Amino acid sequence: MRQTTKAIVSIASIGLIAASYKFGLDAPAAFANAEALTQAQKPSQNAGQPSATPNNPTQPNLAPSTPVTPAQPGSPAKPSAKPIVPAKPSSGSGSSSGSGSSTGSGSTGSGTTDPGSGSTNSGNTGGGTGTTTATEITKTGSSIRYRFGTIQVSVTKTDGKISSVNLLQAGATGGRSQAFDFLVQYSIDAQGSSFANISGATYTTDAFKQSLDAALAQF
């Protein structure tokens, strides 16, 4: 480049980099480190489910009994997710059995690899909560043993879109369990497992993705 061009481009890029750095500081921090993470940064805090998320790092295995179902604004499944969320707690029996009365939507039980957790395949046509007749199908992924525990997820699709991801088994040590909120949210946002690994929880991410993929493969 000529001297003048180089000077102009350099100054412009310094400005641009400084600006993006500044904006970057305000960006919502992803899961960076277990210790560094404060509750205020969690996305599910805004989801209107104060008690449903496993916020307590000392009890990481709380997850199976309380499905994480963030209804994030902007999520692709938002319109149909609304009537479904209230239906969820009715199945809170502590086990991970599926909920809802099957109205024969064609998804009968199939392919769960782990006998320990219930296979949850149920068709649900939205109950009587509204005029929407969304088809809700839940499939369970295989349970994945990894370095820090065991992870198993079940995925619920409403009208063909992933509307919620529940953790049936959420084993993780050393604060890694804090990654689960993000993993659930990411998988819903990405409608699958193609999202970035959470730095600091790569193994957990990987196990989560494996179970998720196994569940999605059954649809």
Partner 1 sequence: MNQTMQLDRQETKAGTAPLALSPAPEKLLLARPNSRVRLGAAKMQSIKRSQDLVEFLGYSTALFITVMFLLDGAVSQIVDVPTALSAISRLTALVATDLLLIHILLVARVPWIERLYGHDRTTQAHKKLGKPILYLVLAHFAASLVQYAILDGQNLWDTFLFLFFDVADMWTATIALALMITVVVTSINMARKKLSYEAWYIVHLLSYGAVMLAIPHQFSTGSDIAGKPIQQTFWVALYFFVALNLVWYRLLSPVVKSLRHNLRVDKVVRESSDTVSIYIGGKRLEAIGGKAGQFYLLRIMTASQWFRPHPFSISAAPNSRYVRFSIGNRGDDTSLMPFLRKGTRVILEGPYGVFTEDRRSKPKVTLIAAGIGVPPIRALAESMAAKAGDIQVIYRTRNEDDAALLEELRTVCDIRGFGLHVLTGSRGEGAAWMPAGDVRPDHQRLLELVPDVAGSDVFICGPAAWTKAVEKTLRRVGTPANQIHAEEFAW
Q: Which CB sits closer to partner 1, 61 or 191?
A: 191
Binding site residues, partner 1, CB under 8 A:
1-2, 5, 9, 13, 16-17, 20-21, 23-30, 32-33, 36, 146-147, 186, 189-190, 194-197, 199-200, 202-203, 206, 209
Query: Which burial class, exposed, middle or buried, applies to 146 when counting CB atoms under 10 A from its CB (0-12, 13-18, 19+)?
Result: middle
Q: Name the 3-class secondary structure at 87.
A: helix
- In the bound complex, what is the minimum distance in angstroms from residue 219's beta carbon to partner 1? 20
Instruction: Tell me whether residue 32 or residue 48 sits nearer to partner 1 (CB atom).
Output: 32
CA dist., res. 179 & res. 168, Å (int): 15
* Identity at 187, one-letter amino acid code: S
**Cα within 13 Å of Cα(19), Cβ side:** 6
If we measure between CA atoms, which residue out of 81, 38, 56 comes closest to residue 170?
Answer: 56
Please tell me the distance from the alpha carbon of residue 141 to that of residue 210, in angstroms, as a whole number. 8
Nearest to 34 by CA among 58, 68, 62: 58
Q: Provide, for the chain, the percentages of residues in helix, strand and coil under a 3-state DSSP scheme, each rounded to the nearest 5.
A: 35, 15, 50
Strand segments (E) across 85-170? 123-124, 136-140, 144-146, 149-158, 161-170
Smallest distance from partner 1 to CB 88, Å: 25
The least distance separating partner 1 from the CB of residue 18, rounded to whole angstroms, comes to 9
Nearer Cβ to partner 1 (134/144): 144
- Provide, rounded to whole angstroms, the least separation between the CB of residue 190 and partner 1: 5
Q: Which amino acid is at 202?
A: T
CB of 118 to partner 1, least distance (A): 28
Q: Which is nearer to partner 1, 1 or 40 (CB)?
A: 1
Of 1 and 58, which CB lies nearer to partner 1 in the complex structure?
A: 1
Closest approach, Cβ 13 to partner 1, in A, equals 5
